[in-house]
Amino acid sequence: MAKIIQKGDTFFAPKGSYFDGNVKIDGNFIVPAHTHFWGRLDVTGRLELGPGSGVALGITCGSAIIGSQTRIKGPIVATGDVTILDHAVIHSVQAEGKVILRTGVRVGDVTAKDTLIIHGRIKSGKLIGKNVKVLGD
């Protein structure tokens, strides 16, 4: 289990860390590449999940940027915006704000209360958004 560093209302996971159980962060959480969570991840603020990371269960957060080639086996539920970068594999996304899906993303159902923007080819379940924009091929 890794030690989390706090600077103001932002928390940082050390490089190369993994977390055995559920993690709850009251603030923003910046996670480096290849960090693994074997439980749930609850972040009240903004989550920046580094590339190649993994979450065994779901994520709840204010907003999120999910790095490329991450694997999240449970749903992402956000009160704000969610951006999912290239080739991430995500169970599902439910966001109160907008959702951006980058090329190569594999995701189940996606619900955005605001705009849903898709860049390039993705594989997905149902896509629901106030507006849906598809950019690129």
| Residue among 105, 119, 108, 114 at smallest CA distance from 80 | 114
Confidence of residue 2 (pLDDT cuts 50, 70, 90): low
pLDDT digits (tens, 9 = 90+) for 7-42: 999 999 999 899 999 999 999 999 999 999 999 999
**Taking the domains of the chain in order of start, what are their residue ranges?**
5-135
Nearest Cα to Cα of residue 67 among 116, 32, 40:
32
**Confidence check: pLDDT of 137 > 80:** no
